[in-house]
Amino acid sequence: MARAATTADAFNAVAEPRRRQILDALAGGERPVNELVRVLELAQPQVSKHLRVLREVGAVAVRHEGRQRLYRLNGHALKPIHDWVKTYERSWSERFDRLDVVLEDLKKEEGDGSDE
């Protein structure tokens, strides 16, 4: 089997740095393809192809206006990534280190007083 398609899910779509750049550029608001071409300094067909991938995973949406295509962000498609990675936040966050201490203390008290 080969690698999963880039359009398989948001994880794969976003693994490509260029596509993250596009989303970052769209964070400021709706943009036509041409402007993304300027910002990314990438050829127009490549940008269109990246946009297609992002569309297929629902990370962007298009609106036709005259001969332009205005793309806009749909960050909601990134929620699964956030949800997944969030559970690992404790690995680097001091906030969670403190929480761990508290939970440890609670466990001690629990196993201390009552039966079982």
Scan residues 20-49 and list those touching DNA (CB under 7 A). 32-34, 37, 42-49
Ramachandran class of 5: left when φ > 0, alpha when ψ lies in -120 to 50, beta otherwise: beta
Instruction: Please identify, using beta-carbon distances, which residue of 15 and 27 lies nearer to DNA.
Output: 15
CB 47 within 8 A of CB 33: yes
* In the complex, least distance from residue 61 CB atom to a second copy, rounded to whole angstroms: 12
Rounded to the nearest 5 degrees, what angle is found at the Cα of 22, between the Cα atoms of 17 and 2?
45
When asked if residue 99 is in the footprint of a second copy (CB under 8 A), the reply is no
| 107: contact with a second copy by CB under 8 A | no
DSSP 93: -
Cβ closest to a second copy, residue 63 vs residue 82: 82
34 contact, one of DNA, a second copy, none, CB 5-8 Å limit per kind: DNA
If the CB atoms of residues 16 and 56 are measured against a second copy, the closer one turns out to be: 16
Residues with Cβ within 8 Å of 59's Cβ and at least 6 positions away in sequence, in order, are 10, 13, 14, 19, 23, 73, 74, 75, 77, 78
Q: Is the CB of 64 or the CB of 95 nearer to DNA?
A: 64
